[in-house]
A = this chain, B = another copy of it.
């Protein structure tokens, strides 16, 4: 694949958040995240729209956009799994089973080193211990001329936003109240000054908002 802009220049690989579901009160996960409830109490309500039989064309379009032209993924350790501290017996290989739905290199931000974890279907989990910029460099190299998708959780997105490294943020605002949990927009202040809504596309169940710098 070799995309180009209208001027014939190679397109810059972007770092994008896709399909990040956020409650009306600003939470991307409920309180009390555990092995049994990885999205916290009530957090699964944030993701019902993705799998709903009521999903509309606009929902499906955004869902698919999150897969198209993506060559690598970065995520925080909490999104990868519930293990904290050292990896121990290294049995944990993510929430997604033997054949995770990425099919490319996935870079997991952590403070604890571990060998790459190759999975079926082309997914390999790489832990990155030297920070968000190093993870982005490695993900860009792995993605080639495709984009890098940034997963959660909130603190991972906040770090890339504050560092000015994020290009696009697609939110699905879900009309529920969680009351407590992991908040996306916390202490960002001027880091969002240059961000503006480039697309507002509500569906039957959520409001899709695409923001860019």
A residues with a Cβ closer than 8 A to B are: 24-26, 171, 173, 175-180, 184-185, 188-193, 195-197, 200, 202, 204-205, 207, 209, 211
Contact = CB atoms under 8 A, between A and B. Distances in A.
By DSSP majority rule, is chain A's interface helix, strand, loop, or mixed? Answer: loop
Contacts of A193: 179
A86 B89 CA distance: 66
A197 B192 CA distance: 28
A192 B175 contact: no
Q: What is the oligomeric copy number?
A: 2
Given A24-B185, A25-B26, A185-B25, A195 B207 contact: no
Contacts of A173: 24, 173, 207
A200 B179 contact: no
A191 B209 CA distance: 28
A210 to B, nearest CB: 9
Contact of A176 (B24, B176, B197): B197
Given A26-B26, A176-B196, A200-B204, 16 more contacts: A24-B173, A24-B197, A24-B209, A25-B188, A173-B207, A175-B197, A175-B200, A175-B207, A175-B209, A176-B197, A177-B185, A179-B189, A179-B191, A179-B192, A179-B193, A207-B207
